A and B are shown apart, each in its own frame.
Chain A
Amino acid sequence: MLSLEAISLQASEDEESPYLLHDVSVRMCRGELVAVVGPSGCGKSTLLKTITGLLEPTAGIVRWDGRDLATEGDLLPSELGYVPQFSLAYDSLTVRESVDDAFRLRIAGIDDDEREDRIDALLETTGLTELADRPVRVLSGGQRRRLALTIETVSSPSLLLCDEVTSGLDPGSAQEIVSLLHELSRADGGRRRVVVNVTHSLIGLELYDRVIVLSAGRIAYQGSPQHLAHYFRADHADAVYTRLATRSGEEWDTSWRKHGSFFEDSLSSGSEATENDHPSETEGDEPLTPGLAAQFAVLFARRIRLFVRERSQVGLQAALILGFPCLVVIFALKGLPGIRNLSLDNDLSVIDQLRESAGYLVQAFDVGGLVSGLLLFQIILLALMGSNNGALEIAGERALFEREKLAGLSPVSYLASKAVFLGLLITAQAVWMVLFVHGICRFPGDIVGQVMLLWLADAALTAVCLAFSSFARTPAQASLISIYFVGFQLPLSGAVLALPDSVARLTRPFIAAYWSWAGGILTMRDTRFYDLILKITKTELAALPVCFWVLLAHVVIGTCVAYLGCRRSVWD
């Protein structure tokens, strides 16, 4: 049984801040299909999130089967199913794959056959058997809600929370969904569960066991649907909303406190819930959540699958990986020019020496500038690819990730899967870039060192952008910040124009392009190009190990921050 005891929730920590929920006390028993209704903004979704644990109540206790969830152990991921308003599944996966992945991510210790059977059964229950091999992209709204319900019930949760799953559907579909919910509350291999549906619509009201009406964060009614109209002195349940609008939430609350006990009693007496309000026999046999590696494997496989299936993504990456190096080499298609050395002997006249050193300076500007520029260009293009890698990776699927996280997905596994996938991508980008440019332009310097430095630059940008992505509210925000971040790399690198010391000292630690560029130049130390570049650049070059270290730090810290971002709950 789920009971909320005097739950209050304020908008912020401030005592003066308005109440989103005010002294709400409800009880929901296993086997009950509960509807939480009320006008928009009355606190329905807030209530649901409070139950889920996404919001922490300012006061009151949430109890599940008698235990205080805040102090005595939270709901296990498998105990809770949460169906958000919008269906959350990857469009390019099929229905079965989606359900299968959900299985693998949430439940451990089940062999393939059993899993298949159970998936079949689930699909059967939700009526998706025939659509099992269709990609999610082609499903209708109702079908998507069903899929979501299927996915959320793979772990047979005892508490199934549905947020507006019927909204936006035609009455028929809505009725079907409510029927399905009713079914799910009753039958699940002998396990009875509490199914809470937050809804705006009163379609299929008769199927609900309990209706909770909220008005401005307060309870206006809690009882059987039969008495609903009566309590609100309405002719029909549909008129309840009209009635609700006639009085304030506080008044309804007062009214309910005065008269509510009858309706509550009538519900508890008339319902079978009380007697059944025990954990079933099978209770305590909650399925195990898979380990990190298992989750990682599923996620990585899914990421690969998704990547492969998204033609546009593959095309874009191919274009970037193959096209960007081409942009670099067009500046030195015929290779790099030879270098004329300065005369070491002092037998030249002063004029000749001046002439020679002027010539050398010109050469330094031409050749040194070209080499330094080519290196920087490679780095900037890789940085661009890195930002493209990282920016949308988390922000683009945040809602899905949040739901999976709620269902037991570990951020570590999630991030690891991202890291490995992106690592492969980065490797392809950096290695090809370096090899191509070396091959075509005869770019000087230690190729391994340059691959490492450029790989690290790409990785650093990817990690940092992944961090941005993990903290961004929307994919657009993540993209924007990432692009800005890349944009700052060029001017703040000091490779083109030397920065003032104070600015350089402040910004340099964050500019991967500098470290990669400086390190890249140092890889050419044994060549004459290095001397030419030194001649023209005023920016001090850090030692090679420091470059590696800082870039590595970028990657590590970016990943850590991304992990923090992943741990955060980001719900609308």
Chain B
Amino acid sequence: MARRASSKIRPLWIACIVGALVLAVIGGIVVQNQGGDAFRTVPELDIGEYLSNANSLRGNNYKVKGVISQSLLYSRETGRLYSVEVNGSGGDNVLPVLVPPELSYLNLQKGQHYTFLLEVGDAGILLARKMQKG
């Protein structure tokens, strides 16, 4: 056993540090997965599928990340229909997203990035249930 004043760092400590690092990385990943995604449990919208047959997805909830592009139409009762640019498989696509009056408190502006929790509506139009910026 080395003496107290020995200048050597014990392997245990190195192991501890390595462990801490590993822990930090794992923690980071976990936090990333947990905190980075507001709708972690919701599946991503398969844009290819939506483009080919939106009606088949009716009633399901999905999440989509996109950029607000245009306001297409507004109705006091139904809300505002936006076009949202998304990057998916097969290049850039633009999806119609209906933001209901409940979410009208959001000051939506062109060019804003949002993560949408969407429900595929009756006509295949995407209905925003929740929205998170970023």
Contact = CB atoms under 8 A, between A and B. Distances in A.
A53 B31 contact: no
Nearest to B106: A526
Interface in B52-110: 68, 70-72, 82, 108-110
Nearest to B72: A346
A70 to B, nearest CB: 6
Given A528-B109, A545-B36, A568-B9, A74 B3 contact: yes
A543 B32 contact: yes
A134 interface: no
Contacts of A345: 70-71
Nearest to B109: A341
Nearest to B7: A569
B47 to A, nearest CB: 21
A560 B70 contact: no
A549 interface: yes
B134 to A, nearest CB: 5
Contacts of B3: 53, 56, 69-70, 74
A6 B82 CA distance: 88
Interface in B13-70: 13-14, 16-17, 20-21, 24, 27-28, 31-32, 34-37, 68, 70
Interface in A41-75: 52-54, 56, 69-71, 74-75
Contacts of B35: 543-546, 549
Given A543-B32, A567-B9, A344 B21 contact: no
A363 to B, nearest CB: 11
B31 A549 contact: yes
A74 B6 CA distance: 11
Chain A interface residue bracket vs B: 35 or more
A71 B27 contact: no
Interface residues of B, number: 36
A557 B21 contact: yes
A525 B133 contact: yes
* Interface SS of B by simple majority: mixed
A69 B20 CA distance: 33
Contacts of B5: 52-54, 74, 406, 569
A45 to B, nearest CB: 14
Interface stretch (A270-278, A485-493, A530-538): A530-538
A343 B108 CA distance: 11
Nearest to A82: B5
Given A342-B109, A534-B113, A56 B17 contact: no
Contact of A561 (B17, B31, B133, B134): B17
A308 interface: no
A543 B72 CA distance: 31
A374 interface: no
B6 A53 contact: yes
B36 A54 contact: no
Contacts of A71: 1
A331 interface: no
16 contacts: A53-B5, A69-B3, A70-B3, A344-B109, A345-B71, A346-B72, A530-B134, A531-B111, A543-B36, A543-B37, A545-B35, A549-B27, A549-B35, A561-B17, A568-B9, A569-B7
The 4 closest A-B pairs by CB, nearest first: A545-B35, A543-B36, A53-B3, A569-B7
